[in-house]
Structure 1
């Protein structure tokens, strides 16, 4: 987001993995016949074990240059499992064609000078990949996979290898031609990985399990971590080797998880362009992408929301955090709470400032943190006031997802440079969506009801947010009445 005269939000560079945080979850029964808040892409949102099964089938593949350790054993199990999935899914997806596994698996230690992959030395190669030249898949067992496993568990490793195997599937199915943009092939691979994860979540895997609440949330954290770094319009690297933002990559993953591998071939530049619409991809040259959270900034965003949504009775602002404790019809949801009885937004400014702080040590987390992590929560509480004025129920699971959807719609609305009465211009900037998505996954507040409670599935929260980003207020109200 940007406020001419001082305002902006951006995204961190690609880093290592991050474990998803916990959020308060609603209990009770779903209320919509159209969208069940307690289901994930048609599956019941469940807690339970996630990762390698205690009785997992042995890997069917051997690993070249392996050290015989647990990391390579996990990777071999993941590849064996992914190939078992594709042995079933490939003929169904590609007109009965037979699936052919890659020729070999290669392991290396990025700290060791002796490794080779795809004809190149692997010293310093903290990565995993599909090598088209010799039809192999390889990974760094020294740093990358252990970091993935530490941050996101066994399924973080499986997720990355499923993505790399997606490239092998693209090649075999001739989806990846010489002129296929990297952006397209990467998001198709994200989509194929999502389809594999659905197979695991359904209980079809003989080696892994995946819960559709915390387990799937951790997988989504891994997807977010591999987003593109944020570039400005003047950066020479902008648009080169483009893989997609966190919002785009999570969307592609969700397509595969929800609709299966057949949906992945539909991802092309036109489809990605439709998803992007007018959403900004690059930062303007004169903006840093971050605005410190202050009382003035909060007032400017509320002013912009007043213009965008034009409520008959705009909510009042109160910076006395303790005032949320006296609301008679809603519990506090710090750092921003909405009280329907008084139509007031209560802002704990120091807490909001902490939430909106940009991460300093990008080497330890893959989250996209920054000012819009906080401002998306502020907008979500404002939209509680909009819903209250429309006579909508505010304290159900469906209200939580409706709020997520409306927050997405408001985020897109602010791409249209809203000029406030004090002369400031509020506008979405590149990176804002990624910061909002990270917050929705980890703390869930921008996708919560009036009491700050959300549904257990980060997948469902992000899906509702995306509906709003790509739609509008009316679409949100129709989907989550």
Structure 2
């Protein structure tokens, strides 16, 4: 993926050199509570990477970013700019509405959002209350070293997936899902979460196709990286890596096979109408 020297987005908020803003040691239990009240939808990666919550608290201190962090920040900014250009064209054409750019917040360790506090153990997430994507950029290192899913386009897929949740929020999907989940059993609520995640994967595929056509900076190897990343964040794969037997009723994001399939579907079609996971599930 050729990204260096290209336009970055202005809608990036970099908190990586800041203190955690009073989040404190939210821990895995706190993460699960946050998930229960409706974040859309972080990946609980703590079972495979150990205790990565560093218990940051409000100190008022800051630190300079390393050269590597600065480069990652530039990369994130370019990918976000690409999503803005793609969706500002696709959403009016296919959904009849103007796209509203979200903000992407980069943080380290822990963060405070309009959805509450969260730790890096949650993985990247989208908060519909403030229309912001939250990303601890150290997740990219975890993807490479712990999940076997390295590569620039694999990381770009993660961002595009979270932007897919923003698209869902803008077209009204997330509000409906949240209402349905509140009235559902845990098993049914998990299933609704899976459908939401798979649609976001499909939207990420749409972005990949449009970005390839619009910018010409993506090749077949990049797409393979994204598909591999979709596989590695499948619920069954994460459970197996954590030494647990996969239990489909407890899936919240979808199996590796389904995540790859819906990404490919979005990439091949380029059409939002082909990403109706809810309709295909009879909802």
TM interval, shorter chain, is 0.5 to 0.7
Q: 1:130–1:138: 8 Å Cα contact kept in structure 2?
A: yes
**What CA deviation, in whole Å up to 9, does each residue of 1:340-390 have, x standing for no partner?**
xxxxxxxxxxxxxxxxxxxxxxxxxxxxxxxxxxxxxxxxxxxxxxxxxxx
TM-score (norm 2): 0.66
Paired position in structure 1 for 2:37? none
Paired position in structure 1 for 2:231? 224
Q: 1:152–1:218: 8 Å Cα contact kept in structure 2?
A: yes
SS of the aligned residue for 1:63 comes to strand
176, 195, 198: which one aligns with 1:184: 195
**What CA deviation, in whole Å up to 9, does each residue of 1:269-311 have, x standing for no partner?**
x5258xxxxxxxxxxxxxxxxxxxxxxxxxxxxxxxxxxxxxx
1:121 CA drift (Å): 3.6
- Work out which of the two has the higher radius of gyration on C-alpha atoms and give 1 or 2: 1
Q: 1:108–1:122: 8 Å Cα contact kept in structure 2?
A: no
Residue 130 in 1 paired to residue 123 in 2? no
For residues 238 and 71 of structure 1, the distance between their equivalents in structure 2, rounded to whole angstroms, comes to 35
SS of the aligned residue for 2:135 comes to strand
Q: Alignment RMSD, CA only?
A: 2.7
Q: 2:265–2:275: 8 Å Cα contact kept in structure 1?
A: no
The structure with more helix, counted as a fraction of residues: 2
Alignment of 1:17-416 (within 5 A): 51-67=1-17, 69-94=70-95, 96-102=96-102, 104-110=103-109, 115-125=111-121, 127-141=123-137, 143-148=138-143, 151-176=149-174, 177=176, 178-179=179-180, 181-202=192-213, 204-205=214-215, 209-212=217-220, 214-229=221-236, 238-268=248-278, 271-272=280-281
TM-score (norm 1): 0.40
1:194 CA drift (Å): 0.3
**What CA deviation, in whole Å up to 9, does each residue of 1:99-148 have, x standing for no partner?**
1112x3211112xx6x323444444435111101211111012x202344
Cα–Cα, structure 1 residues 52 and 60, in superposed 2: closer, same or farther, change >3 Å? farther
For residues 130 and 262 of structure 1, the distance between their equivalents in structure 2, rounded to whole angstroms, comes to 20
Q: 1:63–1:76: 8 Å Cα contact kept in structure 2?
A: no
For residues 144 and 4 of structure 2, the distance between their equivalents in structure 1, rounded to whole angstroms, comes to 17
For residues 92 and 254 of structure 2, the distance between their equivalents in structure 1, rounded to whole angstroms, comes to 29
**What CA deviation, in whole Å up to 9, does each residue of 1:404-447 have, x standing for no partner?**
xxxxxxxxxxxxxxxxxxxxxxxxxxxxxxxxxxxxxxxxxxxx
Q: Which runs of 5+ in 2 are unaligned?
A: 18-64, 182-191
Alignment of 1:394-473 (within 5 A): none
Q: Which runs of 5+ in 1 are unaligned?
A: 1-50, 274-481
Q: 2:150–2:225: 8 Å Cα contact kept in structure 1?
A: yes
For residues 233 and 97 of structure 2, the distance between their equivalents in structure 1, rounded to whole angstroms, comes to 31
Paired position in structure 2 for 1:316? none
Paired position in structure 2 for 1:4? none
